[in-house]
Chain A
Amino acid sequence: MAGRQARVSGSLWRLDEVDFCYGRQPVLGDFSYQFERGCCYGVLGPNGSGKTTLLDLLCGLLVPESGAILFNGRPLADWRPRALARQVALVPQEFAVDFDFSVRMVVEMGRYPHLGRFEDLDDHDHVLVRKVMTELAIDGLADRPVNRLSGGEKQRVAVARALAQEPAVLLLDEATSNLDIFHTLSIIGAVRSRVREKGLTVIAALHDLNQAAFFCDRLLFLKQGQLICHGLIDEVLLPDVIDDVYGVQAQVVYNDFSGCRQVSFRASDYGR
């Protein structure tokens, strides 16, 4: 019993029967799940299935109607926003800055939760910021205004800003949806090496099934606010599940070249 208790409090997030509605529209219903440390989760599901809502609930931007969310064993509502920001960072899909802030300044903003009101960045912070920018290959852009960058470069700045927060968890909200394959893979590479080396936990809302198979360890499938199924890629990335969640016929095979499962669809089903 004691051992089980320890293991329960050891999980990173624990959601118990969480409900959330926008007005009368239920968005997430009766959601229970435990996220563990050091794992890379993919959250999948059709548009409007509650992926973004789930991420917003996890980082405390939304408060559930009913049910409990525990983070590190403490109710999420008890976490002060700054303390939570030292643990959890979010990369949104679109990253727009309205003024001509330089890339370096935006990445330095990631240090904000670690600074006191009258404290400025010290040497440690500057070293860290430089290191993160090198990791994301944006060190050459440091003095450029963020607004003048391409979509892919901007999104790398957003990831760098989130990593400069030194979070235990990184939430990615379709962070690579609008990017070409090169930028997508370079962001995935940077994030995965953090998972491997520093035990970072990642929870990524994704649209692309193949990208999920390539990127994540475990998947959660949402449909109309319900958790349909979850588990390791090999357990849940199956034609039946894809049909159930998306209403689409698919084939799933292990691909030797990619080294993971890949999903494909029949072109003749779609008028070719």
Chain B
Amino acid sequence: MIGVLLSVLLLCAMLISATMGFMKIPAVDVVAVIVHKITGFGAVPDPVVAGIVLDVRLPRIIGAALVGGALAVCGAVFQAILRNPLADPYTLGISSGAAFGASLLIVLQVFVLILPTSLSIPVFAFAGSIATLFVVLALAGGDRRLSSTSLILSGVIVAAILSAAIGFLKFLADEQVGIIIFWLMGSLSGISWTNIALLLPVSCLGLVICLLFSRELNIMATGERTAATLGIHTARLRWMLLLVCSLMTAISVAVSGIIGFVGLIVPHLLRHLFGPDNRRLILFSFLGGAVLLVVADTLTRAVLPSEVPIGVLTALIGGPVFCVIFKKRQRDGR
């Protein structure tokens, strides 16, 4: 029921977003353009309007929804496996790792390497995110129980080192520095249908895998030892989901740069509203994250006087929320 509501909300947000921008397009025309494109029925729309809707706005809106959904699902899953409500792709340093991988590739391309960018950036981003994940987990105490504090601390430390490393890459990149700055701030303005072709299967497949193991995720929250005696391969499940989520994060970063805190706020808020059951929470997070990012991106694109990078916007809103959650947990003595 809540899922249906959130889906309707998402569709409305996407439709309204498509009407907004430099040129106002009535919702009826947007629908007409899409219907004509898919089915061939209806009147042939104005080519300018069709171009704006299909080539400029839709990829960006769909991209925003998929990136937001993927990041929120990753946040929900990281929080469940690591038993830590503060975990998300950004606070764990995984987004920074992916950005480092992407930046590294850009610098390499300046000097020696000639690779097709659209394919190799996701690969480098994934490698960077996985490497970061391993380093953060190792730093936080290997395979033993990962405590909240040491994990977040490791994530922050590794992210700090990575940001210094990215700074060095920016220095090396010289004239290409603008492209790297794009990764750091996060923006959905460059999304094309090619990106969607990569983003859609990865985020949907990731969502399905996370949903399939949502019951196990619930049980993992009662402790690794208990989960193992209930017949769950805890280590295998944990690594598999960490890898799946790192891939989802990496592809999101490859497409849109670092967009922080979506994975933190969305699951946290939804858990507060609808309870911690991951069988519902993961799907709700996908829809909720999609709504949030579509709305936020529409704000930066069409409402604010000049375009603020969306990563900056989410960090400005998300950072303080993170602080509030952190303080509240301290008070609860957890």
Contacts and interface: CB of A to CB of B under 8 A. Distances in A.
A109 B212 contact: no
The SS class assigned to the A binding surface is: mixed
Given A61-B225, A98-B221, A113 B230 contact: yes
A82 B234 CA distance: 12
A102 B275 CA distance: 9
A82 B276 contact: no
Contacts of A110: 230
Contacts of A113: 230-231
Contacts of B276: 99-101
* B-side interface size class: 20 to 34
Interface stretch (A10-18, A31-39, A89-97): A89-97
Given A59-B229, A99-B271, A109-B218, 20 more contacts: A56-B225, A81-B231, A81-B233, A82-B231, A85-B229, A90-B225, A92-B223, A92-B225, A95-B223, A97-B221, A98-B83, A98-B221, A98-B334, A99-B85, A99-B276, A101-B276, A102-B275, A105-B277, A112-B215, A161-B222
A106 B230 contact: no
Nearest to B212: A117
A85 B231 contact: yes
Nearest to B276: A99
Going nearest first, the 8 A-B pairs with the smallest beta carbon separation are A85-B231, A82-B231, A99-B276, A90-B229, A81-B231, A98-B83, A113-B231, A109-B219
A84 interface: yes
Given A99-B276, A100-B276, A106 B222 contact: yes
B118 interface: no
8 contacts: A86-B231, A92-B226, A95-B226, A97-B221, A98-B221, A101-B276, A113-B231, A165-B230
Nearest to B275: A100
B222 A97 contact: yes
Contacts of A59: 228-229
B156 to A, nearest CB: 20
A137 B232 CA distance: 28
A99 B232 CA distance: 19
B192 interface: no
Contacts of A85: 229-231
Interface string B301-317: 00000000000000000
A88 interface: yes
B254 to A, nearest CB: 31
Interface in B204-263: 212, 215, 218-219, 221-223, 225-226, 228-233
A97 B275 CA distance: 14
Contacts of A158: 226
B330 to A, nearest CB: 15
Given A95-B223, A98-B83, A89 B229 contact: yes
A161 B219 CA distance: 11
B84 interface: yes
Interface string A105-136: 11001101100010000000000000000000
* A-side interface size class: 20 to 34
B225 A81 contact: no
A66 to B, nearest CB: 22
A82 B257 CA distance: 42
Nearest to A52: B225
A101 B221 contact: yes
Contacts of A82: 231
B229 A88 contact: yes
Interface in B306-334: 334
Contact of A109 (B85, B228, B230): B230
A166 B130 CA distance: 40
Interface in A145-165: 158, 161, 165
A61 B229 contact: yes
Contacts of A88: 229
A179 B277 CA distance: 29
Nearest to B219: A109
A101 B218 contact: yes
Given A99-B85, A99-B271, A101-B276, A81 B228 contact: yes
Nearest to A117: B212
Contacts of B226: 90, 92, 95, 158, 161
Contacts of B228: 59, 61, 81
A84 B233 CA distance: 12
A254 B13 CA distance: 76
A64 to B, nearest CB: 16
A212 to B, nearest CB: 23
A96 B218 contact: no
B276 to A, nearest CB: 4
Contact of B231 (A92, A96, A112): A112
A88 B228 CA distance: 11
Nearest to A157: B222
Nearest to A110: B230
A98 B229 contact: no
A173 B215 CA distance: 25
A90 B334 CA distance: 25
Contacts of A89: 229
Nearest to B272: A100
A187 B221 CA distance: 24
